[in-house]
Amino acid sequence: MQDFKELEEYLYNRVKPVIMNWREQDISDAYAVSFFVYSNECFIYRGISNVTEFSVGYVTERDCGNAPELSEDRWNFPPLIDNTRILQPGNVGSDSSNGHWMASVTHRMQEEGVIRRDFDASLLTVDDVQSVVDWFMRNSGIADSIPVMQPIKATKEIPEYQDDCMDFIFDWYARNGVDNVGFEDSKWDVNYDSEGRYIGKGPNGFWEIWVAAGNVARRLQEEGVIRQVFGAPLPIIVHQMGLHDEIMHRTIYANPNGEADSFAKYYENILRECRRK
């Protein structure tokens, strides 16, 4: 039986100090807290790819341009968030998925006149890659991200990288029967129900972090930490890339006093629009 209490207690003790420190920042127009859980084949730790990232942050009216209460601009967080990494498996290497990422970033740099349009990304050195990453971080709204759970960074040699939080997670995996970390079954019937709704649990090791993140969020709400920091009952949105039922269910659970009602209404509106099409 998995010891979720140990995992949740560890993540809680990593997350709460980050949130408490936000009192030192200008959070006067913050309207939501982001708990972002994400995996990617580029994320590597101990030589294992597709490791899970967990980060926390807050979103302000400035970030969304004072968007309407039930709008996508307000609740589609990934382009907005400036999160602190709790678990951060980030690697800029040579795998194919990262190649797509690099191509999209260099295209954006070309569009903005940062580099010439005839620039050949295939000729990048590792130092060049780090320069592109640095530019992206400065211009993507995540320039001030502070690693808390952090797998690997790009260096010239890509050496073995050690992080205490990631070590704890991998040791917890081993003690709790989470094997083959990062593997994800791609079969349709494993990830989608008969009506095409996503029901997958992500790569091995993702679901455990996802559930723990939601439980930590709920505890913070129940203890009044968010109200204490922000002076108001802001919602904690527990999310991934994209939007599906599990995100709404996890977020509603994480906000036991109705703090996320506006987010839930936004999601319901999206479902209603989809049914009309």
Q: Please tell me the predicted confidence (pLDDT) of residue 210.
A: 94
* pLDDT at residue 120 is higher than 60: no
Q: Please tell me the predicted confidence (pLDDT) of residue 107.
A: 56
* pLDDT at residue 169 is higher than 90: yes
Q: Which residue has the higher pLDDT, 220 or 25?
A: 220
Express each pLDDT in 180-191 by its tens digit: 888 877 776 666
- Using pLDDT thresholds of 50, 70 and 90, give the confidence band for residue 194: confident
Beta strand pairing call for 30-39 and 236-239: parallel
The Cα 127–Cα 113 span in angstroms is 20
Instruction: Evaluate whether 77 touches 59 at the Cβ level (below 8 Å).
Output: yes
- Using pLDDT thresholds of 50, 70 and 90, give the confidence band for residue 79: low
Give the C-alpha distances (Å, rounded to integers) separating 50 from 54, 152, 180, 204.
13, 12, 11, 9
Express each pLDDT in 26-73 by its tens digit: 899 999 999 999 887 777 888 888 889 898 999 999 888 899 998 988
The Cα 66–Cα 78 span in angstroms is 17
Q: Give the whole-number percent of the chain exceeding pLDDT 70.
A: 65
